[in-house]
Structure 1
Amino acid sequence: MTMYFIILLCIVLSTTSATNFRQTRAKRRPDFEDKIKESSLLLASDTASVTACSLLCMGDIRCVSYFYVRTTRLCQLHSIVFYSQQLTTASPETSYYQLYEDWCLPGDQHNLYRQEDSCYKYYNLTYYLDYEQSIDLCLYYSATMLMVKTEEKYNHIKNYLLDEQHGTYAWDQFFIAARNDTGTLLWSDNTPVDFTDFASGEPSSNDEMCVTLHEIFSFKWNDVDCNYDCRVICEKFKPKDD
C-alpha cells in the first residue's frame, strides 16, 4: 500500500508540473541589474538557488517575472513584466528575469498572461491610430486588439499600465476591442461585453461607439469616437497544438 501511494503521488506531481510549467523559458534582464521592485508582488520567499526561484515562478500560473537576490537567496515573484525603472530600489547582487515564449509578439516589451496562454504589448509609436488602423496594426503582427472579458484579466492589464506610466502617458488612451454599433456593446469576436469598468460619468455620449482605457481615469474604461487617434494594445494567443 505504501509503495502504491508513493508511485501515485509521483505521477500526480509529474502531471501537475508539466501542466503548470507550459515549457516557458526565463530570460535575464540586464537593465534591472542590482535593482528590485515591489509592484504586483505575488510571493517573496527564500530559495536554495536562482534555479529554484525560476521553477517556483514557472509553477505559479500567475507569475511572469521574478527577482533573485544572490546574497540573501530572496526569490520575489511578480504577475507582470517590468520595463519602467521608476520606483526601483537599489539591491546589490540582484538579477531580474522574465518568462517568455517563442510564439509571443515581436520585440522585447511584451507581457505574458499565462492564465489564457496569451501575451500582449502596447505599441509606443510616435503617432497615434484610430480604431480601424489599430485593428490593422494588430493584424500585421498576427495578433488581435486586446479584449478584457474578465475582471481578473482587466486588473492584470491595468496594473501593468499603471506601473509603466508614471506620467509618461498623460492623457493617453488605449483602444480595447469593444464597440457599440448596434446599441449593444460587443467584443470584436461578436460576443457580448458582460464585464465593464467605466469611469464615473462614462459612457458620456451616444456618438462615441468605441472604448479605451484612459490614463486620466487610472485606466478605467472610457467611451470615445472611433475616429479619434489613440494608442493600442495587441494580444496574441499561443497556437494550439496540432
Structure 2
Amino acid sequence: MAIKLLLHIIAFYMKGFTLSRNYFLWHGVPEWRNKLALKDIVWQSLERSKIFCSYRCLQDQSCVSFFYQSSTRYCQGHSSVFLRLSDASSQDSPDTMYYKIACKGGPSYIYVRGANTCYSVKEKRGSWFTAQADCTSENAWLLDLSNDRISSQLMKKFNEHPDPYFAYFWFWIGLTIQSDGHFIWSHSQQPLNGSDFWLPGQPDNATGSQNCVYMRNHDGRFLWDDIDCSMEFIEFICQSDVV
C-alpha cells in the first residue's frame, strides 16, 4: 500500500512538472490580446488554467495554437497559426490571449507539428547569401529539407498554401553545390541523396555558375531549380528550432 501511494505521489508531481515545462513552449502573442479567431477550430473546452489549456493542445496532434479566456476559463484549440489580425473576429473577446508554439526564430515563425520544426516566409528579396545572413540573424537558417519527414511535411504545406499568390513567388532554399559537383544542405551539411523535387531537366548548371537552389511552382507543385547565387529577385524561407 505504501509503495502504491508513493507511486501516485510521484505521478502527481511528474504531471505537474510536465504541465509547467509544457507551458514554457508557448508564446503569447500581445497583438492578439482580447481577440479571438473563429476558423480552423479543433475543439473548445473549459480548463482550470492556461497551463492546462496548453497541455491539452500539446496532446492533440491536430492542434498548433490556442486561445484562453482567463475570466471564463474558456479554451479553444486551432489547427492553424494566425499571423494576421485580419483573421480575428470583429467582436472583441475580453481577457483572452492567443498562444502558439514558441520558435527560436521569433513570432513570425509557424510551427509545423508533424515535422517538429518552424518556418517563416520572408516577403523580401536578395541574393542567396543575403537570404542566408538574414535567416542567421534570427537564430534560423535557410530551409533545410535533408530530413525526409520535414521535407514531406513542409513541401505539402507549401503546395497547399491558402494564399493563391504564394504560388507566383520563387524562394531560395538552403541547398548549394560544392566544388566536387555534389549538392549539400548548408545548415545540416547533409549531402543530397537524390530527390523527386527537381523541375524536369534540372539541375543542369546551364551557365556553369548555377551553384544555388530555389523553388517555384510548376503545375501546382513546388519544385527545385539551380541558379546563380547572386540573383537578387528571389524571396526566401527561413527555418528554426522550437524553443
| TM-score (normalised: structure 1) | 0.68
Pick from 142, 163, 168 the counterpart of residue 165 of structure 2: 168
**1:132 has 2:129 as partner:** yes
- CA change 1:83–1:158 in 2 (3 A) is farther
Deviation at 1:131, TM superposition (A): 1.4
- CA change 1:139–1:68 in 2 (3 A) is closer
Residue 76 (structure 2) aligns with: 75
1:56-82 alpha-carbon deviations (Å, 9 max, x no partner): 23566885422469999562233x522
Task: Verify the 8 A CA contact 2:26 2:99 in the aligned structure 1.
Answer: no
- CA change 1:32–1:131 in 2 (3 A) is farther
Partner SS, residue 122 of structure 1: strand
Residue 54 (structure 1) aligns with: 54
User: In the aligned structure 1, how far is the partner of 2:197 from the partner of 2:177?
Assistant: 14
User: In the aligned structure 1, how far is the partner of 2:212 from the partner of 2:61?
Assistant: 32
- CA change 1:19–1:96 in 2 (3 A) is closer
**1:97 has 2:98 as partner:** yes
- CA change 1:185–1:134 in 2 (3 A) is same
Task: Verify the 8 A CA contact 1:25 1:99 in the aligned structure 2.
Answer: yes
Deviation at 1:179, TM superposition (A): 1.7
**1:10 has 2:12 as partner:** yes
- CA change 1:71–1:36 in 2 (3 A) is farther
Single out whichever of 137-146 and 69-78 deviates more from structure 2.
69-78
Task: Verify the 8 A CA contact 1:30 1:96 in the aligned structure 2.
Answer: yes
Task: Verify the 8 A CA contact 1:123 1:232 in the aligned structure 2.
Answer: yes
Residue 183 (structure 1) aligns with: 181
Task: Verify the 8 A CA contact 2:101 2:242 in the aligned structure 1.
Answer: no
Task: Verify the 8 A CA contact 2:205 2:227 in the aligned structure 1.
Answer: no
Amino acid in structure 1 at the alignment position of 2:56: L
1:190-237 alpha-carbon deviations (Å, 9 max, x no partner): 222358450663635344543333244556331130333311122344
Long gaps (5+) in structure 1: none
Residue 234 (structure 1) aligns with: 238
Structure (1 or 2) with the larger CA radius of gyration: 2
User: In the aligned structure 2, how far is the partner of 1:32 from the partner of 1:218?
Assistant: 38
1:2-41 alpha-carbon deviations (Å, 9 max, x no partner): 3123123224424543554445332255399353222xx7
Partner SS, residue 105 of structure 1: coil
1:154-192 alpha-carbon deviations (Å, 9 max, x no partner): 355446546765233342122111123333221114222
User: In the aligned structure 1, how far is the partner of 2:32 from the partner of 2:234?
Assistant: 31
Task: Verify the 8 A CA contact 1:180 1:210 in the aligned structure 2.
Answer: yes
User: In the aligned structure 2, how far is the partner of 1:19 from the partner of 1:202?
Assistant: 49
Single out whichever of 139-148 and 54-63 deviates more from structure 2.
54-63
- CA change 1:163–1:184 in 2 (3 A) is same
Partner SS, residue 132 of structure 1: helix
Q: How many residues get paired?
A: 230
Pick from 191, 210, 220 the counterpart of residue 222 of structure 2: 220
- CA change 1:16–1:168 in 2 (3 A) is same
Deviation at 1:49, TM superposition (A): 6.0
User: In the aligned structure 2, how far is the partner of 1:209 from the partner of 1:114?
Assistant: 32
Residue 147 (structure 2) aligns with: 150
Residue 111 (structure 1) aligns with: 110
Long gaps (5+) in structure 2: none
User: In the aligned structure 1, how far is the partner of 2:98 from the partner of 2:194?
Assistant: 33
Amino acid in structure 2 at the alignment position of 1:124: E
Percent identity between matched residues is 17
Partner SS, residue 147 of structure 1: coil
Task: Verify the 8 A CA contact 1:118 1:237 in the aligned structure 2.
Answer: yes
User: In the aligned structure 1, how far is the partner of 2:82 from the partner of 2:194?
Assistant: 27
Partner SS, residue 35 of structure 1: coil
| TM-score (normalised: structure 2) | 0.68
